[in-house]
Amino acid sequence: MPASPSPRKGRGAASNASGRFESEARVAFDDGWGMPGAEPEPMPLVTRLQVDATRTIIARNNSPDIGFDRSINPYRGCEHGCIYCFARPSHAYLGLSPGLDFESRLFYKPQAAALLAAELSKKTYVCRPIAIGTNTDPYQPTERKLGIMRQILEVLRDFRHPVTIVTKGALIQRDIDILADMAERRLACVTVSLTTLDRSLARVMEPRAATPARRLETIAALVKAGIPTGVLSAPMIPALNDAEMEDILAAAREAGAGAAGYTMLRLPLELKVLFREWLETHFPHKASHVLSLVAQSHGGKLYDSAWGKRAVGYGPYADLLAMRFDRACRRLGLDRRHNEVLDTGLFCPPRAVGTLDNARQQLALPGL
C-alpha cells in the first residue's frame, strides 16, 4: 500500500515524487516491515549545490498581467522550502522533483554578474527595470556563502540600472549599502513578502525563511536607509492565513512600508498534490475546507492559469478578499505599487571602468 509521507524537520514538502516529464515514477510504498515508533522521523535531508552553466542571465516575458518584462534568477530551487511556492513545478524541467528536490537540490549561477555586464553592454539593449525574486528568492540561505546577488547589484549600480527586488530573506540587510546608494538615485525599490505573523504557522509553511518578526525588522531597516520598501501579503490561503491580511498590512505599515500588494494561493501542476499532502499532514481538519475555497475561486478547479485571474482568483471569496485589501490600503495609506518611482534615464554602461574588464576575463567573450 502507498506510504503516507512523514514531514522532515526544516523542510516544506513531505514527498519527492517524480516530475511530470519523467518516464519512471517514484512512489513511496509501505512494505509492512516498518515497526511503529522504530523511526520517529525521516533522516535529515542535506542541501546539495550544483553549478548552472547558463550563458544568458536576463529572462524575458510578455505576460500582460505581470508588471515587468525582464527578470534575473540567481538560483534555481529555493532552500526556504515554502510549500506554496508556484515556482516548484519548474524543477521538473531539470529532471528533478518539485517536492523535496526543489528545496534541497539547488543550482547557482557563478557567472551571473559577468553575464549581466555583457548583456547590459550591448548597443541594442534598452533599459527597463529588472525584477529579481519573482521566481526563487535571491536571498535564500546559500546566498550568505555565495554572494551572487550582491555581485549582481554591484553591476546594476555601476550601470545605473533600476531594479526591483522581492524577498522574504533578512539577508538583504547585508546589501543596504548598495541599495541605499541606488535608491538615492531612484534606481532601487524592495518588496518584503510577509505571509503570516504567526511564527508557528510560518515554521511549517516556510521553514527556512526569516521569521515574521525578522521580516518586519528588515522592512524597518530598509526604510531607515531611504530605500522605498513595500510589503507583499502573499499568498493569502483561504481558511489558513487569510484572516491575518489586515494585521499583516498594519504591522508592515508600522514598520515603515509605503506600498502593498497581495496574491491568492496558486497551485499549478505538481503543486496541487504537494499542497494537498502538506495540508493533510499539518492541518487535516482544515484540508477539505481550504481546498474547497481555493476551487471556488478558480471556476471549480484548484488552478486557473488565465491571465489576470491566476494571481487573485475570481468569484465571491476572491472578490471579498480584494475588497478587504483595498479598504485596508486606503485606511493605512499604502500605495498599490511603488516601482513607478524608478528612473531608467540614468542608465549608462561604464565603458571606462573595471566592470567590463572583469566580464571579459570571466567570460572570454570577444567584442564586448
Residue 8 banded pLDDT, cuts 50, 70, 90: confident
> What pLDDT shows up at residue 4?
57
Residue 227 banded pLDDT, cuts 50, 70, 90: very high
Q: Is the pLDDT of residue 367 over 50?
A: no
- Distance, in Å, from the CA atom of 270 to the CA atom of 164, rounded to the nearest integer, reads 29
Entry pTM = 0.90
Q: Is the pLDDT of residue 75 over 90?
A: yes
Sorted by where each starts, the structural domains of the chain and their CATH numbers stand as 51-341 (3.80.30.30)
Which residue from 219, 228, 222, 163 is spatially nearest to 193, judged by alpha carbons? Answer: 219
Q: Which residue has the higher pLDDT, 368 or 201?
A: 201
> What pLDDT shows up at residue 42?
63
Radius of gyration over alpha carbons of the chain, in Å? 21
Judge residue 194's burial from the number of C-beta atoms within 10 Å of its C-beta, 0-12 exposed, 13-18 middle, 19 or more buried. buried
Backbone angles phi, psi at 161, to 5 degrees: -105, 130
> What pLDDT shows up at residue 368?
41
CA angle 335–216–68, rounded 5-degree value:
45
Q: Which residue has the higher pLDDT, 192 or 5?
A: 192
Provide mean pLDDT across the span 96-111: 97
Q: Could you tell me which residues are beta bridge partners of residue 108?
A: 51, 75
Q: Is the pLDDT of residue 361 over 70?
A: no
Residue 240 and residue 286 in contact, taking contact as beta carbons nearer than 8 Å: yes
Provide mean pLDDT across the span 303-320: 93
E strand segments, 81-129: 105-108
Q: Of 43-57, 104-118, 126-140, 340-354, which range is least confident?
A: 340-354
- Distance, in Å, from the CA atom of 287 to the CA atom of 277, rounded to the nearest integer, reads 9
End-to-end Cα distance, the chain: 60
Given the C-alpha cell 516575458, which residue does it identify? 61
Give pLDDT tens digits for 126-174.
Answer: 999 999 999 999 999 999 999 999 999 999 999 999 999 999 999 999 9
Q: Is the pLDDT of residue 286 over 90?
A: yes
Q: Of 7-11, 98-102, 136-140, 192-196, which range is least confident?
A: 7-11
Q: How far is CA 191 from the centre of its chain?
A: 11
Q: Is the pLDDT of residue 237 over 90?
A: yes
Q: Is the pLDDT of residue 1 over 90?
A: no
> What pLDDT shows up at residue 359?
53
> What pLDDT shows up at residue 34?
57
> What pLDDT shows up at residue 40?
54
Give pLDDT tens digits for 252-284.
Answer: 999 999 999 999 999 999 999 999 999 999 999
**What does the mean pLDDT of the chain come to?**
90
Give pLDDT tens digits for 288-300.
Answer: 999 999 999 999 9
